[in-house]
Chain A
Amino acid sequence: MREEANTNVLLAQWQGGEGGARNALIARLHPELLKIAGARLRQERDSSLSTGDLINDAVLRIMRTDSVTPGGRANFVALASHIMRNILVDHARAKASSKRRHRKVELHTQIDGGQRVDLMELEAALIRLRALNPELSDLVEMRYFGGMTTADVAAVTGVSEPTVKRRWQVARAWLMDALANPVDDA
Chain B
Amino acid sequence: MPDDRLERETLFLFEAMLELPEADRDAFLAERTEGRPDLAARLAAMREADRRAGLQTGAAVDALEEEAPPERIGAYRIVERIGRGGMGAVYRGERMTGDFAHVAAIKVIKAGLLSEGLVERFERERQTLAALRHPHIAQLYDGGETESGSPYIVMEFVDGEPLLAWIEAHAPDRETRCRLFAEICGAVAFANRNLIVHRDLTPANVLVTAEGSVKLIDFGIAKPVDAGAAPARTSLGSLSLTPGYAAPERMTSAQVTTAADIYSLGKLLAKMLPPAAGDRELRAIVARATMLDPADRYPTADALGADVAAWRAGMPVSAVGGGRGYVLRKFIGRHRLGVAGAAIALLLLVGALGAALFANMRAERALAESERRFGETRAIAKTLLFDAFDQVSRVPGSTQAREYLARAGLTYLEALAADENAPLDVRIEAGLGYMRLAQVVGGGQASQLGRYADADALLARSEEILGGLLDRHPDDANVRRAMAALLVEQSGSNLYNNNDVERARAQAIRAKELMAAGAAGDLEAARLYADALRAEGDTHNWDDAFPQARELHNAAESFIAGLPAPFQADPQMRSIRAGNLRLLGEAHHKLQEVEPARRTLDQAVEINRALVAEQPDDPLIRRRLATSLRYRAIVHRSNDRNELARQSIEESRAEAERLRARDPNDAGALQLVALVAEVQAQILADLRRFPESYAVGEQVRAMHVSLVEKAGGAAGAARSMAAARRTDGGNHYNGGDYAGACRIWRETLDLYAGLDRRGQLTDTDRGNAVRELTDYVQRTCNPPRAALGPSI
A, B co-complexed:
yes
Residue of A nearest to B8 (CB): A132
Q: Is the CB of B49 within 8 A of A180?
A: yes
Q: With A136-B11, A169-B18 in contact, is A181–B252 under 8 Å at CB? A: yes
For the complex formed, measure the closest distance between the CB of A182 and the CB atoms of chain B, giving whole angstroms.
10
Interface centre among B58, B231, B236 (most CB of A within 10 A): B236
Please give, as numbers and ranges, the residues of chain B lying within 8 Å of A179 by CB-CB distance.
234, 236
Q: Which residue of B lies closest to A107 (CB)?
A: B235
Q: Is the CB of B11 within 8 A of A180?
A: no
State whether A112 touches B57 (Cβ < 8 A).
Answer: yes
What is the CA–CA distance of A4 and B45 in the complex, to the nearest angstrom? 49
A117-B235, A136-B11, A174-B46 as given contacts; A112 in contact with B252, CB under 8 Å: no
Which residues from 128 to 184 on chain A have a C-beta closer than 8 Å to any C-beta of chain B? 128, 131-133, 136, 166-167, 169-170, 172-177, 179-181, 183
What residues on A are CB-neighbors of B18 within 8 Å?
Answer: 166, 169-170
Query: Across the interface, do B11 and A132 meet the contact criterion of CB distance under 8 Å?
Result: yes
Minimum Cβ distance to chain B for residue A10 (Å): 35
Identify whether the interface residues of A are mostly helix, strand, loop, or mixed. helix
Residues of A near B14 (CB, < 8 A) are 170, 173-174
Name the distance in Å between A27's Cβ and chain B's nearest Cβ.
33
Enumerate chain A residues within 8 angstroms of B233, measured Cβ to Cβ. 104, 116
Q: Does B15 contact A (CB under 8 A)?
A: yes
- Residues of A near B8 (CB, < 8 A) are 132-133
Min CB distance A117 to B, Å, is 6
228-253 of chain B: CB within 8 A of chain A: 231-236, 248, 251-252
- Whole-angstrom distance from the CB of A43 to the nearest CB of chain B? 12
B60 touches A114 (CB 8 A): yes
Are B53 and A174 in contact, CB atoms less than 8 angstroms apart? no
B46 touches A177 (CB 8 A): yes
B19 CB to closest chain A CB (Å) equals: 7
A176-B49 contact in complex given A116-B234, A170-B15, C-beta closer than 8 Å: yes
Closest Cβ of chain A: how far from B232's Cβ, in Å?
8
Asked if B19 and A112 sit within 8 Å, CB to CB, the answer is no
CB within 8 Å: A-B pair count: 82
Q: Is A118 an interface residue (CB 8 A)?
A: yes
Contacts of B2 in A (CB 8 A): 128, 183
Q: Which residues of A contact B49 (CB under 8 A)?
A: 173-177, 180
Identify which of B53, B59, B232, B251 gathers the most chain A CB atoms within 10 Å of its CB.
Answer: B53
In the complex, chain B residues whose CB is within 8 Å of the CB of A69: none
| From A113, A132, A173, contact of B50 by CB (8 A) | A173
Residues of A close to B47: CB separation below 8 A: 173
CB neighbours of B53 from chain A (8 A): 112, 172-173, 176
Per-position 1/0 for B49-73, Cβ under 8 A of A:
1101100111111000000000000
B31 interface residue per 8 A CB criterion = no
Is the C-beta of A115 less than 8 angstroms from some C-beta in chain B?
yes
Chain B: minimal CB distance from A131 (Å): 7
Q: Is B471's beta carbon under 8 Å from chain A?
A: no
* Measured CA separation A173–B11 after assembly (Å): 10
A181 lies within 8 A of B56 (CB):
no
Cα distance A169–B14 in the bound complex, in angstroms: 9
> Could you say which residues of chain B place their CB within 8 Å of the CB of A106?
234
Chain B stretch 243-283: residues in CB contact (< 8 A) with chain A: 248, 251-252
Nearest-neighbour CB distance to chain A for B629, whole angstroms, equals 63
Beyond A112-B53, A180-B252, whether A174 also contacts B11 by CB under 8 A is yes
Residue of B nearest to A169 (CB): B18
Q: Mark B22-57, 1 if CB is under 8 A from A, else 0.
A: 000000000000000000000001111110110011
Docked-complex contact B56 and A113, CB < 8 angstroms: yes
B116 CB within 8 Å of chain A: no
Chain B, residues 1-22, CB within 8 Å of chain A (1/0): the string is 0101001101100110011000
Near B by CB (< 8 A), chain A positions 65-115 give 104, 106, 112-115
Interface size class of A (residues with CB under 8 A): 20 to 34
Complex contacts, B19 vs chain A, CB 8 Å: 166
Min CB–CB distance B248 → chain A (angstroms)? 8
- Check if B50 sits within 8 Å of A112, measured CB to CB: no
Residues of A within 8 A of B234 (CB): 106, 116-118, 179
Are the CB atoms of B61 and A180 closer together than 8 Å? no
A176 CA / B252 CA spacing, docked (Å):
10
Is the beta-carbon distance between A113 and B60 smaller than 8 angstroms?
yes
Q: How far is the CA of A177 from the CA of B6 in the complex (A)?
A: 15
Distance to closest chain B CB from A16 (angstroms) = 32
Chain B, Cβ-Cβ closest to A167: B15
B5 shortest CB reach to chain A, Å: 10
| Per-position 1/0 for B525-555, Cβ under 8 A of A | 0000000000000000000000000000000
Chain B hits for A118, CB < 8 A: 234
Q: Is the pair B15, A113 in contact by a Cβ cutoff of 8 Å?
A: no
Chain A nearest CB, measured from B187 CB (Å): 28
Chain A residues within an 8 Å CB radius of B15: 166-167, 170
- Taking a contact as CB atoms under 8 Å apart, the answer to whether B251 and A180 are in contact is yes
> Is A172 within 8 A of B236, CB to CB?
no
A183: which B residues are within 8 A, CB to CB? 2
Bound form: Cα–Cα A136–B7 in Å: 13
Asked if residues A176 and B50 are in contact (CB atoms below 8 Å), the reply is yes
Instruction: For A115, give the chain B residue with the smallest CB separation.
Output: B235
The answer to whether B57 and A113 have CB atoms under 8 Å apart is: yes
Q: How far is the CA of A155 from the CA of B326 in the complex (A)?
A: 63
Measured in the bound complex, the distance between the Cα atoms of B441 and A40 in whole Å is 59
Q: Among the interface residues A112, A117, A176, A183, which one has the most CB atoms of the partner chain B within 10 A?
A: A176
Closest B residue by C-beta to A183: B2
Q: Give every chain A residue within 8 A of B57 (Cβ-Cβ).
A: 112-113
Q: Determine how close the nearest CB of chain A comes to the CB of B242; give it in whole angstroms.
A: 13
User: B235's closest neighbor in chain A, by CB?
Assistant: A115
- Docked CA distance A170–B778 (Å): 75
Known: A132-B8, A133-B8. A173 touches B56 (CB 8 A): no
B236 near A180: Cβ-Cβ < 8 Å: yes
Contact A117 B236 (CB under 8 A): yes
Residues in chain A near residue B231, CB distance under 8 A? 116
A169 contacts B59, CB within 8 Å?
Answer: no
Q: Please state if B46 and A173 are interface contacts (CB–CB under 8 Å).
A: yes
Contact A113 B58 (CB under 8 A): yes
Across the two chains, which residue of chain A brings its CB closest to B47? A173
Given contact pairs A169-B18, A180-B251, enumerate 16 new A-B contacts (beta carbons under 8 Å). A106-B234, A112-B56, A113-B56, A113-B60, A113-B61, A114-B60, A114-B235, A115-B56, A116-B232, A118-B234, A133-B11, A167-B15, A170-B18, A173-B49, A177-B45, A180-B236
In order of increasing CB-CB distance, the 9 nearest A-B pairs are: A113-B60, A115-B235, A176-B49, A173-B50, A180-B251, A177-B49, A113-B57, A173-B46, A173-B49
20 contacts between A and B (CB under 8 A): A112-B60, A112-B235, A113-B58, A113-B59, A116-B231, A117-B235, A132-B11, A133-B11, A166-B15, A166-B18, A167-B15, A172-B50, A173-B14, A174-B10, A174-B11, A174-B14, A176-B49, A176-B53, A177-B49, A181-B252
